[in-house]
Amino acid sequence: MSQQMTSPADAAEVSGVKETRSERTFSLLQRQGGVAVLALVVVLASIFSSGFASSGNFSTILVGTSYISLLALAQTFVIITGGIDLSVGSMFALGGVLAAWGMNHGGSGMALLLPIVVGIIIGAIQGSLIAYARLAPFIVTLAGLLFARGLLQAISSEGSKTYLIPGGSFFAFIGDGTWRPILTAVVLFALGSVLLTRTRFGQALFALGGSENAALLMGIRVKRAKVLLYVLSGTVASVAGMLNASRLQSGVSNIGVGYELTAIAAVVIGGTILTGGSGSVYGTAAGVLLLAVIQNLIGVHLSKYGSSASDLVNGAFLALVVVLQSFLARRRQI
């Protein structure tokens, strides 16, 4: 699960360039730092924060982040190629509202199918514009963000901003309970890790992030890989919203604002390099959990400062990781 096809250490070994001890240390920090910091924070919080180490608190943290963490999973694939997807937060909200709308107009089958189809279509359009029209991912996915929000508003204009989902249906059963959302997220992360590290598609993504020209020379179908990448990202984000709607028993049209930035922060804190070529799913899982644990601790001990304290700490972590990555990149260029 932790294997990387093209880690910085691997790349250096393949190219015959010997790393110094300090470079190896920084490389290790970049790849494993998120996990180490998560373990340290959990241990310290268990010692000094009463009630943190309870099973109830852990389940609250895990359930609260289970479906939202799938946005970071999708973003990991995109960032490994050196790209970015700013539309995942809007796709998350759109998936939830489409599922709720489908549930009220066609039952569980439509609630499950509609978000998947729309996620595939929007992801394919974005991927095609990036791969074949050679437009910047930032611009294309920003337009996707606005388009998804516009579609969301169009659907919501027929009624309330919250679509209630009738209880007792198969769709409502999917996200119900405490451990079902957690197990769903664990299974999807495991599948994501296999896809990234054990398949030719995963190899193509690492190669794309290392050098697109080199990937072309290796015979990788770069354009097809890019389209599939954004189809995967759009579909996972929409499905995550659908599952979250099942858990909440409703589709909320104003949810997901800023989720794309949280997902990017979790991916980077987990050790994936923004310029592409290196990263792992387990690192992203650590990044997601670290942000959730910090938010939980702030909610208990610094609740009077609200979300501003969470944003401040998360921003500091992100800045530290980015500085570390930049320092490592400069050392490698010397």
112-136 residues labelled b (16+ CB within 10 A) or e (exposed): bebbbebbeebbbbbbbbbbeeeee
pTM: 0.86
Q: Which positions of the chain have pLDDT values less than 50?
A: 1-16
- In whole angstroms, how far apart are CA 58 and each of 52, 61, 123, 183, 247? 8, 5, 34, 14, 18
Residue 288 contacts residue 36 (beta carbons within 8 Å): no
What pLDDT is recorded for position 71? 95
Rounded Cα gap, residues 65 and 315, in angstroms: 18
φ, ψ of residue 272 to 5 degrees: the values are: -75, 130
What pLDDT is recorded for position 245? 92
pLDDT digits (tens, 9 = 90+) for 282-300: 999 999 998 899 888 887 7
What pLDDT is recorded for position 9? 46
Bridge partners (DSSP) listed for residue 252:
162
Rounded Cα gap, residues 52 and 287, in angstroms: 19
What pLDDT is recorded for position 49? 80
- Structural Rg of the chain based on CA atoms: 20
Q: Residues with Cβ < 8 Å from 319, sequence gap 6 or more?
A: none
pLDDT digits (tens, 9 = 90+) for 125-149: 999 999 999 999 999 999 999 999 8
Residue closest to 234 by CA, chosen among 133, 109, 102, 137: 137
Running DSSP on this structure, what letter comes out for residue 184?
H
Q: For residue 317, give both structure tokens.
A: 């972590």
pLDDT digits (tens, 9 = 90+) for 263-289: 998 998 888 888 888 889 999 999 999
Rounded Cα gap, residues 177 and 63, in angstroms: 9
What pLDDT is recorded for position 51? 79
